[in-house]
Structure 1
Amino acid sequence: MAFTILFIAATCSLMSALRATEVVPRVDTSSGILIGKQSHSTWQYLGIPYARPPIGNLRFRTPKPAFRSPVELLVQEHGPACTQHSSLSFYGPDLPRQSEDCLTLNVYVPQNTHSEVKEPLAVMVWIHGGAYLVGGSEQFPGHLIAAQENVIVVTLNYRLGVWGFLTSGDSTIPGNMGLMDQVLALRWVQDNIASFGGNPHKVTIFGQSAGGMSITLHMVSPKTRRLFQHAIAQSGAVTNQVLLERNSPRWTPMLQQLASSVGCPTDTNLVQCLQSVDNARLAALDNMFYEPIVDGPGGCVPMQPALAWNTSVRHAPFLMGVVKDEGMAIFDMNLPGIDKELALRDGIDFNVAMKITTMMLMKLYPGPDQPFTSLFTPEQMQFVLQYYYKHPEDSFDNLRSLMSFVRDALFVSQTQQAAGSLQQPTSRNDTFLYQFVYRDASYPEEPFPMGPSHAGELKYMFEECSTSEKNLCNSIIHAWATFAKTGRPSFLNHDGDDVTWLPYSEESKHFLKIDLNMGSDSMQQDLLPEVNHFWNDVIPGMIDKFPCDTGSTARRRSACRARTKLTP
């Protein structure tokens, strides 16, 4: 009897899958003929291979386009996430399905696109965040955006950690493999999205955190110059941060340490040995050192972002912003000495805050030669510490100050620098700035009100909303989609009417305050000006080796060259 029930259930499930397959258009692509599924008012094509598996002798190499499948591909489930070392809790629990063979993407198409729409649809390509260490496209289903706003949404996986960003300091292991994965996925979109009813000439790339940082790097990369038309960076930008160069001598000891950890020689057989190391063994290592680098002429990041944003930024409409309490990310970064429950109860010791601040300054402005060094002198480090920590004896003030430092240095200042750079006569891009401020009941009220946190806006874009928050979800999705369609966003007020989002300029400094209920008064001016001045005027002027033409105005460039005095 039990067997009969199971047999009937399996047969019904198979028949349902076949019926769903019958009504979903087959799509002919460079990867093969795809058979997707129907779900949530969209046609979904999931787990499409856009690159060959980066395994064996393709590990640590620039990705190669996927071979075309000789048979029809059933693409109805997400592919596994790329192998990753650990999780950051604001992206949820560890992804259970991980593999080194992970370079797939997903396409969400509004249902009946082919029969009802005369013009090709705008395309939105999502690049997930996760500090270049964790995350996967499966966490961000695109059906809500696609169905609500009649756009095509593409999400993708790219290599992370050591697999995506290791470098040997030369072309042997070039580095930036994860960025090149993104580039190849964007090329796949250009070659194939028309077959889904999309417009390859109306592509918007958007991403959050490391995804947003990737967006800002693509804005100045020659590799992606013709692969998108609009860009959105959420809580992530690389503009005044200093990246390590590929020829930095710092890579040699790091590579030797990696080789020693997995039992590989450091001679000419090193790469072949690293390519043969078991994937699980690599996954057990610390991947915190691996992130994008400056890989030089012909590379994905040919020069320091601070210079590139002043000389070679794309002429493309750009939307960017932050959440109000980005500094809450400290509770999810696995930082030494930080336990969320204890910190909320007792605050944090000044020595802990000082060590974390110093560590992050070394990461933002690394010394070119030796690990754990910085472009900052000890006196300049002390200057930054004194600027933020006014009452080191007060543990709750230390907590608030560390959160402010992280918010300002990692997120707000970089975003403001991008907005300012886009107003120069050489670029003059349409620019739209926002701050997401809505706090739901889940955020702490003690020892002081916190939230929304880093990544706090994502659930309003990718998850079903409660009735009370529905207008907020609709407004964010509508703003992002109208920007993708036209390059000029509008948002919905509490009555559901369109309201114009005023562009940012050096004079107006407009930004949109995104909250539960919005109207024309949601447009504000001059987001955290003191943060902008400190990190984009004072700090570049302090550092002798900082590229000088980084600012968006003559005032900033003059301040840089004048080497601003060390006075708070």
Structure 2
Amino acid sequence: MVSSVFFISFLITSCVLGAPEVSKPGLGTITGSTVSYNIGNNRSEEVDVFKGVPYAMQLTKDQRFQYAQPKPAVSDADPVFNALDFGFSCPQICSPIKEPAEELYYGMNFGIYKIDEDCLTLNVYRPNNRSGISLPVLVWIHGGAFLSGAGSDYDGGTLAAYADVVVVTINYRLGAFGFLTTENSTAQINVGLDDQLLALKWVHENIDAFGGDQSQITLAGAGAGAESVTYHMLQEENKEYFQRVIALSGVISEDKIVKNPVEVANVFTSAVCESEDSTVECLKDLEIQEILEGPVIDEGSILSYFGPTAEKEKESIDDLLKTSMQATNFDLMIGVTDADASIYIDFLKGENSDGISRSLFSETVATISNFYDCCMELVSTIISNSYNDWTDPDSDVARLDKLTELLTDWFYIKPVTELNRARAASGSRQTYYMVFDHKTESSEEESSEDMVPYIFGNPFQSKTKDLFSVEERILSHQMMEFVKNFVYFGNPSYGSRVQWDPYTSDEKYLYISIENNITTKERYEADRMAIWLDTIPQLIENLKMTVKGAQEVDVLGSTLSIEEAEDVINGLVYALIALLAIGVLAATVLLAQRNKPPVVYDMENKDQRSEIPSPPIYTPPSTLQKPKPELMAPPEETNSSYNNHTYAYDENEHVYDNQPAIAELHTEPMEAQEPQRPVSFSTFSGTDSGVNEDEQERPDSALAALDNLAYEDSP
């Protein structure tokens, strides 16, 4: 009996068989190990395993928060690299530091190994005895909320053996080491995502040495890994490195982007360096453990400090998901569970709670509502009313269930549905949508990665096989079959007895459940999705239009907003003020010119000029007559003298008074006189103008001529 148990155990246990080797110019020579994997039905397949292969240059404190550099080419003279052990896991809060390189188990994954900053390695699993055959490749990016996880979490051997594909799992920097940024060279942006891309480039360039086909690469991930693969799917420069995408329990969206990364960096640095004046440079001198003790979750919130950051020169993630052709150039297999938000629920409720308080529920609703800047109160009311168990509104347990629905919808199902609809409307490559509704029987609670162990064949692996039932092993076979068909053909149901229709306008999806079988359904959670994708956007739009209408006025026959109307009115006022200023200035100039005294010549001092005020225009009386002496104005102060003749201006009568010459000169009728020659300036200046010297010496005659001329010229 003992021997038969041992024999059965031997069949289902992986065993090391040999030492495979790969070699390529620039890559060098790498040796691994050959392991036998049980794939069910009393079958085992051999898989060549290469662990801890570096894809980047070694990282040290000096490269902290900086982009990694590709590993330089290896020469033939370099020693053989023995890829027998997993490399360091990247620094994270979930594991001890500098422990011996032995597996640490938690959940159904294979654990985190000792951690170090020099952690950028990958692991390759390839079916044995496939020389000369190029196999499709699946590159897996692990989840863990960008805070934890490693490529060693997932043993890709069973999937490689069952699906006959090359499986690659990778490490990338996490938490502050991978996503703290100042958006400049001090701490560069999204270095964790750049690590992933660097690994993907390495696979594209070198996977042929391991029997992989670089033209058939599928990029896959779950949780934060799914967010990562959909992020890479949107980047134009990445399209040559993979052709298909598998995203499980996650899609990148604007809601998951860190909005204020520089502020986060300042808060984190102040907390870790214990000084508000500290800069990120301080972090470069600290030990790993000191940095890991820093905050990772925004206080009073469900949002992590660390994750992908929007790049300023690029469109928003939501716009890219909806409109970018890059999102439509890949075949997509995408799935969710009804417990995807469990990672947030575990954090919120703590270890000893079976429910959620009303205040904690309200705080979570407020966090989500803050993403809708224009209408936070409106959105908060809609969410609170929609996700409330009205049959038992005061129950903390019922509230926990509703909060799980809320976070699953908002973080996972909503962005997945938006992406699926955008792809269906664009006529893109095929999208295959599944809803996985099964909780492992041995698991105490649902997990956001419930479907992942079935894809990697954990029910058949020696370390975890006892956690699964016979029905769950059958389910694992089906899930691996879906992956195999998708990686090979871009259609998960190709050649399968299960029909999986692509997602189109009818929104079909594959519902996967042991209890209820595998069936095709339509419009997953349509009522709840209508809240997020129809009701809230429409109410926000209506509110904006109402506010806009209330703020519009008619100005000069045009409908303008309050701000625009104010601008127009202000412009008119400024223009009026400018016109008034110009008018005042013009009037001032004209008045000054009018009041300016004329220039006359002093006959006694011919080289000098004197100025007298310029009189107003002369207006004679209607009948020219001799002024009455008693009406004559008394003599005023002499303004100018000329040969003892005095001129004065009577302001009341508007006539000139010549005392005594003018009055005496015009009291009697004038006798006919010979025509006088025109008076010119030369007459007074003494210059030769045809007048004899005797005339020049008789100023009285000249004055009389001037008076006669003035009189005759009067109107």
> With structure 2 as the length reference, what TM-score do the two structures score?
0.64
Aligned match of 1:460 in 454, 457, 477?
Answer: 454
The 5 Å alignment of 1:527-566 reads: 527-541=524-538
SS of aligned partner of 1:490: coil
Cα separation, 1, equivalents of 2:152 and 2:362: 37
Equivalent residue letter for 1:255: A
Q: What residue number does 1:51 align with?
A: 56
2:271 alignment counterpart: 261
Query: Deviation at 1:469?
Result: 2.1
- Are residues 1:82 and 2:82 paired? no
AA aligned opposite 2:323: T
- What pairs with 1:11-26 in structure 2 (closer than 5 Å)? 20-21=18-19, 24-26=20-22
Secondary structure of 1:531's counterpart equals helix
**Match 1:100 to one of 117, 123, 127:** 117
Which position in structure 2 is the counterpart of 1:500? 499
Once the 2 structures are TM-superposed, how far is the Cα of residue 540 of structure 1 from its aligned partner?
Answer: 4.1
The change in CA–CA distance for 1:439 and 1:86 in structure 2 (over 3 A counts) is closer
SS of the residue aligned with 1:514?
A: strand
Tell me how far 1:321 sits from its aligned partner. Answer: 1.1
Structure 1 distance, partners of 2:257, 2:261, is 13
Alignment of 1:273-288 (within 5 A): 273-288=282-297
Q: Which amino acid aligns with 1:342?
A: S
Structure 1 stretches of 5 or more lacking a match?
Answer: 1-15, 367-373, 445-450, 545-558
Report if the CA contact (8 A) 2:271-2:295 is conserved.
no
The aligned length equals: 493
Paired residue for 2:507? 509
CA distance in 1, matches of 2:269, 2:459: 46
Counterparts of residues 78-477 of structure 1 (less than 5 Å): 78-86=86-94, 95-114=112-131, 117=133, 120-239=134-253, 241=255, 243-244=257-258, 250-263=260-273, 270-288=279-297, 289-297=305-313, 302-312=314-324, 313-314=326-327, 315-332=329-346, 334-335=347-348, 338-343=349-354, 347-362=355-370, 365=371, 377-391=376-390, 392-425=393-426, 428-442=428-442, 452-462=446-456, 463-465=458-460, 466-477=469-480
Alpha-carbon RMSD: 3.0
CA distance, structure 1, for counterparts of residue 351 and residue 106 of structure 2: 12
What residue is the counterpart of 1:7 in the other structure? none
The 3 A distance-change label for structure 1 pair 192 and 92 is: closer
% identity of equivalent residues: 26
CA-CA distance at 1:90 after TM superposition: 6.0
In structure 2, C-alpha distance between the alignment counterparts of 1:79 and 1:563, rounded to whole Å: 60
Pairing 1:38–2:34 present: yes
Quick one: which amino acid aligns to residue 320 of structure 1? I
Distance (whole Å) between structure 1 residues aligned to residue 125 and residue 52 of structure 2: 11
SS of the equivalent of 2:353 reads helix
Query: Matched residues in 2 for 1:91 and 1:258: separation?
Result: 32
Query: In structure 2, what residue type is equivalent to 1:454?
Result: S
For residue 5 of structure 1, what is the aligned residue in structure 2?
none
Counterpart of 2:350, as a letter, is D
How far the C-alpha of 1:417 sits from its partner, in A, is 1.1
Q: Which runs of 5+ in 2 are unaligned?
A: 1-14, 37-45, 96-104, 298-304, 461-468, 548-715
Task: Name the CA distance, whole Å, in 2 between partners of 1:81 and 1:512.
Answer: 35
Tell me which residue corresponds to 1:553.
none
Q: Quick one: which amino acid aligns to residue 46 of structure 1?
A: K
State the 1:441 CA deviation: 2.9
For the structure 1 residues 258 and 423, does the alpha-carbon distance in structure 2 shift closer, same or farther, using more than 3 Å as the test?
Answer: same
Question: SS of the counterpart of 1:241?
Answer: helix
Give the SS at the match of 2:125: strand
What is the identity, as a one-letter code, of the residue corresponding to 1:473?
S
Q: Report the Cα distance in structure 2 between the residues aligned to 1:91 and 1:471, rounded to whole angstroms.
A: 18
Name the residue aligned to 2:70.
65
Partners of 2:261 and 2:309 within 8 A in 1 = no
Matched to 2:423, the amino acid is: L
**CA distance, structure 1, for counterparts of residue 374 and residue 138 of structure 2:** 38
Structure-2 residue corresponding to 1:9:
none
Q: Does the CA-based 8 Å contact 1:54-1:61 persist in structure 2?
A: no
Q: Secondary structure at the match of 1:99?
A: coil
Greater CA deviation, 123-132 or 106-115?
106-115
Report Cα offsets for 1:281-300 as digits up to 9, x if no partner: 11111223011011133xxx
**Aligned-pair distance for 1:354?**
1.8
What is the aligned partner in structure 1 of residue 10 from structure 2? Answer: none
The one-letter amino acid of 1:478's match is E
**C-alpha distance in 2 between matches for 1:240 and 1:536:** 15
Structure 1 position 524 matched with structure 2 position 503: no
CA deviation after TM superposition for structure 1 residue 137, in Å = 0.8
Post-superposition CA distance 1:524-552 (Å, at most 9, x none): 111111222222233445668xxxxxxxx
Structure of higher RCO (CA pairs closer than 8 Å, 6+ residues apart): 1
Which amino acid is the alignment partner of residue 232 of structure 2? H
Larger of the two Rg values belongs to structure: 2
Kept in 2, the 8 Å contact 1:110–1:146? The answer is yes
Following the alignment from structure 1 to structure 2, what is the Cα–Cα distance between the partners of residues 206 and 107?
A: 15
1:174 Cα deviation after fit: 2.4
Aligned residue identity for 2:353: L
Deviation at 1:31, TM superposition (A): 4.3
Counterpart contact for 1:45–1:108, Cα < 8 Å: yes
CA distance in 2, matches of 1:144, 1:47: 18
Q: Deviations over 1:270-316 (max 9, x none)?
A: 4544322211211111223011011133xxxx321110012223311
> Alpha-carbon deviation of 1:264?
8.4
Question: Is the partner of 1:126 in helix, strand or coil?
Answer: strand
Flag the 1:320–1:284 CA change in 2: closer, same or farther, 3 A.
same
